[in-house]
Structure 1
Amino acid sequence: MKILKLEEGSVNKESAVISLLPEDKEDLFTLYQIIDEEDELIFKKKFSTRKDEDSKKTNTDLVLLKIQVVSSEFDINDEFLRYKGKTVTDDTGRANAEVPVGKFISFTVNYSYPFTVIKQTFDKHSRQLLNEACNPEGKSDTAAVALQEGIAHVCILTPSSTILKQKIEYSLPKKKRGTDIMKYDEKTEKFYRGIYNAMNKYYDFDKLKMVILCSPGFYAKTLMEKVLQYANEDRNNAILNNRSRFLVAHCSTGYMQGINEVLKDPAYSSRLSDTKYSKEAMVMDDFLKHLDDDDYKSWYGETEVFKASELGAIDSLLLTDTMLHSGNIKERKKYLDLMDAVERNGGDVYTFSTLHDSGEELDKLTGIACILKYPLPDLDEDLEDFD
């Protein structure tokens, strides 16, 4: 994300005017989290106007527009982010010169043209998201390949989701006779070479902290051997110099769910401790374990979590990004204050994306949960009495 201009407090004490240019799909996700309904956008768009009332001919000009956001549409896989809004008065007189106020217009964000966001409430969470998007180190530091016989999924782990970059699929013949074995070996070689080529295409090995190769059986181990073999043949120093960053792991499936299994597996926690996404996966796993053990250290639900915070008992606070993207400003401020209170009392705060499996799971459990420093068996006592 390129920030061209950032000016705070120009509209009101909590406001900000931000001119920016997104550069990739992660930036689109950041904008989707930051821009709210009733925020204003200033952008250039091709707009057609009639030459005169009686003429059918039109002029197409690039005009400056200013809208107040009414709704949004977002799809991370298609890299699509569109806002719908209505035109509003521009105090500077530059925008909406040829367009009446109150006209509904849509704006699709792209990577070519910068635009300006006028945020009515630029809070701590929005500021943090923007800083992370502008920091190159905030980008993905983990990649993964999940595979089994004849199928592989080459993925990048990002703050918003596990993104499938390429699916590689080969129909491998059964080994029955000598000729079948030759065909099998030939197809298998093409399969592993295809994975290697995809990794070279989508991975920057010098910037990644970890490359996970996971599978049931010995497919991941064989892939590691093949990758090093091909890298030696091609003199691929990007892989050879970073071979220590590869982790060969076991999982139950060669589909993308296998990657989550590895992230949650304590057997790999020491190797994955420096990566961004394993921590979230492990804390979610820890929360569910306490919940299963029924040891009164895991609680979910707004009332229980806020009560635990008042007691200073929260060790880990788990929130979905939808809680912090609420259209109700008072509601959002309540959760931001909760995050501050937990951190002041020595706790950790984890924000889960609902585009991830763990975030989706947390969203089903009210979207807010906590792990306590010590057991509290009576957190829901008041609720039961009330019932």
Structure 2
Amino acid sequence: MKILKLEEGSINKESAVIKVLPEDKEDLFALYQIIDEEDELIFKKKFTSKKDEDSKKNTDLVLLKVQVVSSEFDINDEFLRYKGKTVADETGRANAEVPVGKFISFTVNYSYPFTIIKQTFDKHSRKLLNEACNPEAKSDGAAVVLQEGIAHVCLLTPSSTILKQKIEYSLPKKKRGTDVMKYDEKTEKFYKAIYAAMKKYYDFNTVKMIILCSPGFYAKTLMDKVLEYAREERNSAILNNKSRFLVAHCSTGYLQGIGEVLKDPAYAASLSDTKYSKEATVMDDFLKHLNDDDYKAWYGDTEVFKAAELGAISNLLITDEKLHTGNVKERKVYLDVMDTVERNGGSVFTFSTLHETGEELDKLTGIACILKYPLPDLDEDIADFD
């Protein structure tokens, strides 16, 4: 994402005016988290007006300023749209031809910059904006999860697991000699289709890790085939980066298999650089403590706040939904808790609800923690704790 202008404190000491140009779907996700209801947007949009002289409709590119009312977002379709109502512009440049209070929708795209006016530009929003401008934060990894006759080619990003292509082939049973030939022919087409999809969607020079996972030996066979096809084509991007491939075992050829690999301690060292892997490991650790009932895992606002005040939190787990709440006072409470945990030597992990782990955490109130030491009575006297 390109920041074309950033002015802090021009409206009040917590405000910011940010002019941005998004460049990819990860930028859209960052903007979706940064822009809140009641923030204001200034953008150019084609607007149709009717002239009184000849009653003909004219379409002009006009400058509009709206206050956000609602948003729609789909990361797979790269779609981010805001609905808002026009507000007065003190400069007189925006809304010159549009009355105040008119509802207008605005779809964010990669061609035209627009301006965000935030009354409260907090630490979380600043961090999201900085990460969006850091290209290394965008391409954590990629994964192909497969089993006989089916494969899912995915990208792993800080925001979600994105399914780029699903490949399905009906493979014949190997009963007679002719069936074996048909099976081998279909299998070859299956692996070549996966290879073609990987070349289409993966940048082998920048992606940190490419996971090939499956039950049985399908992932190992795919690795051999990828290298074979790359040598035939003299594809240096793959051959020079073959150390970035990780062949792993999972129980299914569907997307759940990727989560299994990311949580598996056997692959932890290889995946240590990927943000999604760290979050998956922490979530798995939390659930293990919860299942063991060893008083080191707690969830819920009151329990977590109390543990933070005691300086007992090792890892704080919180969803982006908690930090994207429209209630500014409530959001500040969560940001203060995050600061408290970090000051006391703990780590904070923000989970996207577009990820499986984030969805799981969201069902457990959206906030949880792993303690440095057991606190069996943390939920006692909750009514007296402010």
Shared fold (TM-score greater than 0.5)? yes
For residues 100-119 of structure 1, the C-alpha deviation after alignment (integer angstroms, 9 at most, x for no partner) is 11111111111111110001
Structure 1 residue identity aligned to 2:169: Y
CA–CA distance in structure 2, aligned partners of residues 355 and 145 of structure 1: 19
Give the match for residue 259 of structure 1.
258
Is 1:158 the counterpart of 2:157 in the alignment? Answer: yes
After TM superposition, give the deviation of residue 380 of structure 1 in Å.
0.4
Is 1:220 the counterpart of 2:242 in the alignment? Answer: no
After TM superposition, give the deviation of residue 385 of structure 1 in Å.
8.7
For residues 303-343 of structure 1, the C-alpha deviation after alignment (integer angstroms, 9 at most, x for no partner) is 00000011100000000000000100000001001100000
CA–CA distance in structure 1, aligned partners of residues 250 and 235 of structure 2: 28
Give the match for residue 281 of structure 1.
280
For residues 253-304 of structure 1, the C-alpha deviation after alignment (integer angstroms, 9 at most, x for no partner) is 1111100000001111111112221110000000000000000000000000
For residues 132-180 of structure 1, the C-alpha deviation after alignment (integer angstroms, 9 at most, x for no partner) is 0011111122110000001100100011110011111111111111111
> Normalising by the residue count of structure 2, what TM-score does the alignment of the two structures yield?
0.98
2:37 aligned counterpart, secondary structure: coil
Give the match for residue 117 of structure 1.
116
| Equivalent residues in 2 for 1:1-387, closer than 5 Å | 1-52=1-52, 55-383=54-382
CA–CA distance in structure 1, aligned partners of residues 274 and 48 of structure 2: 50
Q: Which structure 1 residue ranges, 4+ long, deviate > 2 Å from structure 2? A: 383-386
CA–CA distance in structure 2, aligned partners of residues 3 and 120 of structure 1: 18
> Normalising by the residue count of structure 1, what TM-score does the alignment of the two structures yield?
0.98
For residues 46-68 of structure 1, the C-alpha deviation after alignment (integer angstroms, 9 at most, x for no partner) is 1111111x854111110000001
Query: Do the aligned residues in 1 keep the contact of 2:6 with 2:17 (CA within 8 Å)?
Result: yes
5+ long unaligned stretches in structure 2? none
CA–CA distance in structure 1, aligned partners of residues 9 and 3 of structure 2: 17
CA–CA distance in structure 1, aligned partners of residues 226 and 19 of structure 2: 44
CA–CA distance in structure 2, aligned partners of residues 314 and 28 of structure 1: 32
- Between the two proteins, the alignment pairs up a number of residues equal to 385
Structure 2 residue identity aligned to 1:283: V
2:268 aligned counterpart, secondary structure: helix
Identity %: 84
After TM superposition, give the deviation of residue 197 of structure 1 in Å.
1.0
CA–CA distance in structure 2, aligned partners of residues 228 and 85 of structure 1: 52
CA–CA distance in structure 1, aligned partners of residues 209 and 50 of structure 2: 57
